Amino acid sequence: MPQCRKCKCCVSSDTNICYQNDIGKYNGVLLDKTSRFTCKGKPVHNFVSTSTFTEYTVVDDIAVAKIHRDAPLDKVCLIGCAFSTGYGSAVKAAKVKPGSTCVVFGLGGVGLSVIMGCKVSGASRIIAVDLNSDKFAKAKEFGATDFINPKDYDRPIDEVLTEMTEDGVDYAFEVIGNTGVMTSALKSTHFGYGKTIIVGVAPSTATISFDPMLVLTGRVLTGAVFGGIIFSSGALVLYILYVKTVHLYCIVQQILQREE
């Protein structure tokens, strides 16, 4: 996440999206309009200014954050996206309140990080939703209290959630990138004050539509890129969290197990 620290967004405390970001634009090049990658003589474009799936990369200086020299890269790399995005979505973007009820749609590395953020924030009930029931055991380790597989029901999952939470959850997190699930997440929140955070990235051509009455009564639908965290100033805090309070190795283990 670039931070030029000069643009209208960077000087605002209300967003972490710098004008120099490539999210939604997908130009695939650095600020000098070049890509430093080639394959068989042809240029290879960058992914959102970072290309972090590569072992080595070239980024603009405004997209660099310094971390501890002793930080284990095989684990702290998750702070570059997965952990920060999920944890920040709960703690910073949603600002989950103690005693609240949350639902998390999607139990990948980001979804598990959302669960951790909800737990740290004091949520009393964290409902994990996924089509793969094998993920529930790991979600429980991270703090989930209830588990739902939509395939076990013959009615919309938002109706199931509304019924089991007395008119809807306080916070819903969509961590998949599916517009249908985004709508279900919105419907699953309390009609008067429920808050839905879109974390997953939908396909570039996707659109979403819903009955405006869903938000007219007080529901809030919003999104969070990188959990709303300003990485250039938040990296140290996140690393301290990693060392002292949360165990990113659990997420790493899950990723490695899938690769095997």
Q: How far is CA 168 from the centre of its chain?
A: 21
Strands 195-198 and 171-174: parallel
Q: How far is CA 45 from the centre of its chain?
A: 24
Which position has the higher pLDDT, 38 or 98?
98
**pLDDT, tens only, 6-38:** 899 888 888 888 888 877 666 788 888 888 888
Are the CB atoms for 149 and 131 separated by under 8 Å? yes
CA distance 250 to 238: 16
Cβ neighbours of residue 78 closer than 8 Å, sequence gap 6 or more: 84, 109, 248, 251, 252
pTM across the whole model: 0.86
CA distance 68 to 199: 28
Please provide the average confidence, as pLDDT, over all residues in the chain: 85
If one counts every other C-beta atom within 10 angstroms of the C-beta of residue 203, the result is 9
Per-residue pLDDT at 49 exceeds 60: yes
- pLDDT-derived band of residue 259, with 50, 70 and 90 as boundaries? very low
**pLDDT, tens only, 147-179:** 999 999 999 999 999 999 999 999 999 999 999
